[in-house]
Amino acid sequence: MRIFFKNIYHFLIACFGAVICGFPSRRLFVLGVTGTKGKSSVVELIGAILEEAGKKTALISSVHVDIAGEDFKNPTSMTMPGRAYLQRFLRKAVGAGCEYAILEVTSQGVSQYRHRFIDFDAAMIINIHPEHIEAHGGFEAYRAAKIKFFQDMDKSRKSRKSFFINEMMAGKEFFEQAAADKGDVSYFSREDFINQELKNHYNLDSLEAKKMISGWLQSDFNLENAAAAVVFAKSQGIDEAVIFRALEKFKGVPGRMEYVRRAPFEVVVDYAHTPDSLRAVYRNLSDNHEKKLICVLGSAGGGRDKWKRPKMGEAAAEYCSQIILTNEDPYDESPQSIIDEIEKGVRGYSGKDGGATTVFKILDRREAIKKAISLAREKEVVILTGKGSEGWIHFERGRKISWNERGVAEEMLESAKHGT
């Protein structure tokens, strides 16, 4: 009964927000991007391409909000804010004369009806991996929430709808079924982007063609993100030369594979917070185990996906030569218990050389980053995961402290330089 009334509450909030704001999505082309990882990167890439094409665009991601070039930090720190925030955002986009609005769509946002009464023109699924398992009660329920976004496209008043699906994604058939008879379906994949789009545009072999776009885009997972952005841009009739000019200029997304330093050793900040995303980041930065990694990681508390903690430890043990376990967002859980659970995965890993050589447990995240930098030697990589560009660390009873991962890393590098 409690869940029933909670659902009604969220539904009514979504409805009233749309009514009060005058259903602004009806005067925009609205794309919703969903997936487990890469949503922010795809949203930012599409925004960059549309801007290069001279299209006034509004976008909202977990990183920031941009309305026709007016850029500010996402004040909610939520990927898909509730309480009618999205409707107010869309109304501002209309007021600024935008043609497009690009939104991240999350499983929990769909479960709380935050997508309802937004008339979407297009829906995109990038990938799907286990995440938010406790919140949804299982992977199938999590996937069902993503699928529901596609299914609910038939509630949109837009006359022509489009769907974009990762061709190489496990479970793509569920999304194909959800999109059936609702509109046009287009596919994308990293392989097609490399071997067709890049190769043909630059008239070079695949390896050389990859070097022509932004360095930030050249990792495997960002090439997949680029593939998604390109297929959408082409569906909008944007010229290929404009698309690739935007890809060449693209500087990356704060907190996503963000380099703080490149020499004599590298320091990188990334938002990776699942076992799959950790492995993807570690694999890319280590050049498949060729470089030594010093890894700083933690995991969120508050009952969030406890299953993944030992799995993240296993991922770190597989790739990292030294591991520093620390706070991420403990909320009301014991920070020590969280990192102990991650450590179980590290100690239980039976792969290469029995896993990492050294494990440190330092709850103070600032001190953990300082330790990692002190351990780094020439050509090694310090990788800080979990926080990305988030502006707070959350503790018990709503307490939080301001946080800037890149800023702390820079501070510790400067301190190390002066021996303090």
What does the alpha-carbon distance between residue 233 and residue 37 come to, in Å, rounded to a whole number? 20
Residues 303, 163, single domain; the answer is no
Residues 208, 285, single domain; the answer is no
What does the alpha-carbon distance between residue 60 and residue 38 come to, in Å, rounded to a whole number? 14
Tens digits of residue pLDDT in 247-271: 999 999 999 999 999 999 999 999 9
Confidence band for 158, pLDDT divided at 50, 70 and 90: very high
**CATH number of residue 237's parent domain:** 3.40.1190.10
Residues 12, 108, single domain; the answer is yes
Residues 158, 285, single domain; the answer is no
Of the residues 215, 249, 283, the one at which a domain ends: 249
Q: What is the pTM of this model?
A: 0.89
pLDDT of residue 4: 65
Residues 323, 264, single domain; the answer is yes
Residues 190, 58, single domain; the answer is yes
The better pLDDT of the pair 246, 218 is held by: 246
Residues 108, 6, single domain; the answer is yes
What does the alpha-carbon distance between residue 150 and residue 69 come to, in Å, rounded to a whole number? 29
Residues 276, 396, single domain; the answer is yes
- Distances from the Cα of 125 to the Cαs of 80, 188, 272, in angstroms? 15, 10, 19
Residues 48-65 have a mean pLDDT of 94
pLDDT of residue 356: 52
Residues 260-283 have a mean pLDDT of 94
**Domain extent at residue 227:** 2-249
**CATH number of residue 313's parent domain:** 3.90.190.20
Residues 185, 238, single domain; the answer is yes
Residues 62-69 have a mean pLDDT of 89
Burial class (CB in 10 A: 0-12, 13-18, 19+), 108: middle
Of the residues 232, 249, 266, the one at which a domain ends: 249
Q: Tell me the one-letter amino acid at 411.
A: E
Residues 186-210 have a mean pLDDT of 90
Total number of domains in the chain: 2
- Distances from the Cα of 276 to the Cαs of 37, 106, 177, 326, in angstroms? 9, 18, 26, 19
Of the residues 218, 249, 280, the one at which a domain ends: 249
pLDDT of residue 355: 47
Region of poorest pLDDT, from 47-51, 83-87, 174-178: 83-87
Tens digits of residue pLDDT in 347-397: 988 765 544 579 999 999 999 999 999 999 999 999 999 999 998 999 999
Q: Would you say residue 6 has pLDDT above 90?
A: no
Residues 232, 295, single domain; the answer is no
Residues 282, 396, single domain; the answer is yes
Residues 50, 175, single domain; the answer is yes
